[in-house]
Amino acid sequence: MRRTVTLELAEEECRVLALLARRERTTRTAVARNLLGKALREHGLDQALTEYRMGKLTFAQAAKTAGVTKRRMLSVIRKRKMALYYEDVETDPALARLVTDRKG
C-alpha cells in the first residue's frame, strides 16, 4: 500500500531532482521515491551496525534488523573495516562458514 507524503525541498534539490528525472527518462516522483528508499535502507544498515558495534545486537540480530543477509552484513562490516566479534563466529555456524569460505 502506498501513501502520499508531501515534502518541501530547496530550489537546488528540485533542480537536481528534475535533472536526474530527465537523465533517467522518468518522473521526479520516481527518482525521489528511489533515492528515499535507498537512503532509508542505508540508514537502517548504519543504525544496525552502530548497535552491533556497541554490543546491543548480535551479528544475526543486526543483519535481521537491517533487512540484509548475513553474507551482505559480513561484506559491509569488512568494507567498513569493523571488528567481527569472535563470540558471534563461535555461536553462529552459518557465520563461521561465511568467514571460513572467505578466507579460503
Nearest residue to 48 (alpha-carbon basis) of 22, 28, 70:
70
What pLDDT is recorded for position 9? 94
Inter-residue contact 30 to 22 (CB < 8 Å): no
pLDDT(103) > 70? no
What pLDDT is recorded for position 41? 95
Domain-wise residue ranges, the chain? 11-103
20-47 pLDDT, tens digit per residue, is: 999 999 999 999 999 999 999 999 999 9
What pLDDT is recorded for position 76? 94
Average pLDDT of span 76-91:
84
What pLDDT is recorded for position 83? 83
Inter-residue contact 57 to 51 (CB < 8 Å): yes
pTM of the model: 0.77
pLDDT(88) > 80? no
List of long-range contacts for 77-80, beta carbons under 8 Å, 24+ apart: 77/49, 77/52, 78/102, 80/49
Distance CA 96, CA 92 (A): 6
